[in-house]
Amino acid sequence: MKKISIDPITRLEGHGRIDMYLDDAGNVEQAYLIIPELRGFEKFLEGRPVEELPLITQRICGVCPEAHHAAAAKAADAVYGVEIPLAAELARRLQYNAFMAGDHATHFFALGGPDFIVGPDAPAADRNIVGVMREVGSDLAAQVIRMRKEAHEVAELIGGRRIHPVSMVPGGISQPVSAQTQARLKEIAQFMVEFTHAAQGVFARSLGKHPEFREMVMSEEYTSRTNYLALVNEQGQPDAYDGRIRIVNPDGAELLTYHPSEYLDHFAERSEPWSYLKFPYLKSIGWHGTSDAVAASLIRTGPLGSLNAATGMQTPLAQEEFEKVYAARKGQPIHQTLLYHWARLVEMLQCAEIVQRIANDERLIDPDIRTIPGKAVGEGVGCVEAPRGLLTHHYKTDEDGIVQSVNMIVGTTYNYPAIQASVEKAAKSLVRPGAQLTEPLMNRIEMAFRAYDPCFGCATHAMAGTGPLEVRAYGPDGTVVDRIRRDHEGTIHHLDREEVEGR
């Protein structure tokens, strides 16, 4: 059997490799998305005081530190059984939504955007943020930079630091938001709403400009009829900071709703010998593997999951965008994987509007920001919707709040079975007998995972870098018969067997 690898995959957060096994005719029989990294947070957090976990766990991911910071703080609140004061909750929510909006902007323009703003088949050297900026023009490019900068400024204003902010503590936040800070937050919020609203058209314009991308979006190869998961408020609208979990089936009918602390009743994670990352599945459906043939047993989270499993959006401008697409669908979910990019824009807009709503709330600067905890209850679950999907932190402690055990399931992990199915489906349709293994073709396989904005750093509580794209062809006996590399200009190099063995 012949084996082809894409090693490692690029323009994502974290590290991964795709291995494809071909039958004698040259069809892909099986494709695996392998995650080769593990840092072991769940072990070394044992023995740490629980109030340190909002600080330490965000080192799982410097791209989405606030997600871990907030989930950890909420789990620690629960460990102590404390309700936090309103001003603290408002500050956390504001900071969290600003982070979500900024993170979505980063993915849309810097990581995912090159594939559809510059184009799926554009030269590799242009498929990056520089190419995107050239394409969207200097005005919008400057605004993208400003959006990232001001999202980080919010983290700094409330959390002290732009990356790895520190202000969420068990029982609330570390210090009140000042009136002066609030004034600046209002300005930032105004810009965020303007920017995220103006950005809504970028995806549609890409569809118009790149018919080959539009074709990919609507194609069966990039479609998976799965279940969808969202963290929602009481009205069933997405709420990134808090709520209940709602899951709908591929027809949009509700499968179940549960409180985040009940996650063990509903989810288990399957481990496999070929990847460090585990595969969550819904216990009521059971484990059926990860191929698209069993899509109806898979769950998807992240922006598309949020919108599909929601009844609508919380805020007016985001609701308008939501209705443009869902009004005609009568509750039917969107199954086109590449529309994650569109859903990300809508979620980004809602987050910006929430930032503005809270920034203008006078209760934000109330000085009562802490409930001082007593003895620990001993167990707590904290859950947020991270940019890449549902994030769960579960801690057990002794009565002094010293951590005894930790379990975490992150958004990319929840999505891993579906990402695996999407990659396999794309690989099977693109790598055919006689098909030329070109660089753009390989990139199209990578687009199947990139839509999810995966963070394999978060997922494995590890973050390795990314590297070259290398395709290896193996003979029936497992020896390397060909090695194909693409360089930064997109040129494909065939390296002979001796060179492969000589490494």
Token pair of 11, please? 């323009």
Stretch touching another protein by CB under 8 A, among 146-154, 188-196, 248-256, 337-345: 146-154
CB 295 within 8 A of CB 224: yes
Candidates 97, 143, 167, 182: give the one binding another protein (CB under 8 A).
167
Sign of the CA dihedral 305, 309, 310, 311?
positive
The answer to whether residue 179 forms part of the interface with another protein (CB under 8 A) is no
Write out the binding residues for another protein, residues 12-41 only, by CB under 8 A.
Answer: 13-14, 19, 32, 34-40
Q: Which is nearer to another protein, 32 or 222 (CB)?
A: 32
Q: In angstroms, what is the minimal distance from the CB of 235 to another protein? A: 29
Q: In angstroms, what is the minimal distance from the CB of 176 to another protein? A: 9
CB 76 within 8 A of CB 53: yes
Q: In angstroms, what is the minimal distance from the CB of 429 to another protein? A: 23
Count of positions on this chain that bind another protein (CB under 8 A): 101
Element (H, E) at 235: none
Distance CA 39, CA 457 (A): 9
Question: If we measure between CA atoms, which residue out of 421, 427, 460, 384 comes closest to residue 300?
Answer: 421
Q: In angstroms, what is the minimal distance from the CB of 271 to another protein? A: 4
Q: Which is nearer to another protein, 73 or 248 (CB)?
A: 73
Distance CA 404, CA 406 (A): 7
Q: In angstroms, what is the minimal distance from the CB of 501 to another protein? A: 15
Distance CA 85, CA 177 (A): 13
Token pair of 110, please? 């810097």
Stretch touching another protein by CB under 8 A, among 125-133, 194-202, 218-226, 309-317: 125-133
The answer to whether residue 278 forms part of the interface with another protein (CB under 8 A) is yes
In terms of C-beta density within 10 A (0-12 exposed, 13-18 middle, 19 or more buried), how is residue 312 classed? middle
Candidates 166, 207, 430, 441: give the one binding another protein (CB under 8 A).
166
Write out the binding residues for another protein, residues 372-431 only, by CB under 8 A.
Answer: 372-373, 394, 400-402, 405, 407, 409
Q: In angstroms, what is the minimal distance from the CB of 101 to another protein? A: 16
Q: Which is nearer to another protein, 19 or 321 (CB)?
A: 19
Residue 228's SS3 state is strand
Candidates 69, 74, 104, 164: give the one binding another protein (CB under 8 A).
164
What's the alpha-carbon Rg for the chain, to the nearest Å?
A: 22
In terms of C-beta density within 10 A (0-12 exposed, 13-18 middle, 19 or more buried), how is residue 378 classed? middle
Q: In angstroms, what is the minimal distance from the CB of 469 to another protein? A: 6
Write out the binding residues for another protein, residues 189-228 only, by CB under 8 A.
Answer: none
Q: How far is CA 78 from CA 57, 249, 369, 374, in A?
A: 16, 30, 17, 12
Candidates 1, 125, 183, 198: give the one binding another protein (CB under 8 A).
125
The answer to whether residue 475 forms part of the interface with another protein (CB under 8 A) is no
Stretch touching another protein by CB under 8 A, among 203-211, 269-277, 326-334, 429-437: 269-277
Q: What is the CB-side half-sphere exposure of residue 74 using CA atoms within 13 A?
A: 25
At CB < 8 A and 24+ separation, what contacts does 111-114 make?
111/11, 111/12, 111/13, 111/450, 111/453, 112/11, 112/341, 112/344, 112/450, 112/451, 112/453, 114/11
**Residue for token digits 């994030």?**
391
The answer to whether residue 149 forms part of the interface with another protein (CB under 8 A) is yes
Distance CA 102, CA 150 (A): 8
The answer to whether residue 170 forms part of the interface with another protein (CB under 8 A) is yes
The answer to whether residue 158 forms part of the interface with another protein (CB under 8 A) is yes
* Cα 248-322-141 angle, rounded to 5 deg: 120
Q: Which is nearer to another protein, 167 or 200 (CB)?
A: 167
Q: What is the CB-side half-sphere exposure of residue 465 using CA atoms within 13 A?
A: 2
Stretch touching another protein by CB under 8 A, among 211-219, 304-312, 364-372, 417-425: 364-372
Q: How far is CA 288 from CA 85, 281, 285, 346, in A?
A: 44, 9, 8, 32
Write out the binding residues for another protein, residues 427-466 only, by CB under 8 A.
Answer: 455, 457, 462-466
Biggest distance spanned by C-alpha atoms of the chain: 70
Q: In angstroms, what is the minimal distance from the CB of 341 to another protein? A: 18
Q: In angstroms, what is the minimal distance from the CB of 467 to another protein? A: 4
* Beta strand ranges found along 24-148 (DSSP E): 28-34
Q: In angstroms, what is the minimal distance from the CB of 321 to another protein? A: 28
Stretch touching another protein by CB under 8 A, among 171-179, 227-235, 297-305, 358-366: 171-179
Stretch touching another protein by CB under 8 A, among 195-203, 226-234, 293-301, 479-487: 479-487
Sign of the CA dihedral 179, 180, 186, 189?
negative
Q: Which is nearer to another protein, 318 or 390 (CB)?
A: 390
Write out the binding residues for another protein, residues 39-98 only, by CB under 8 A.
Answer: 39-40, 42-44, 46-49, 51-52, 55-56, 58-63, 65, 76, 80
The answer to whether residue 321 forms part of the interface with another protein (CB under 8 A) is no
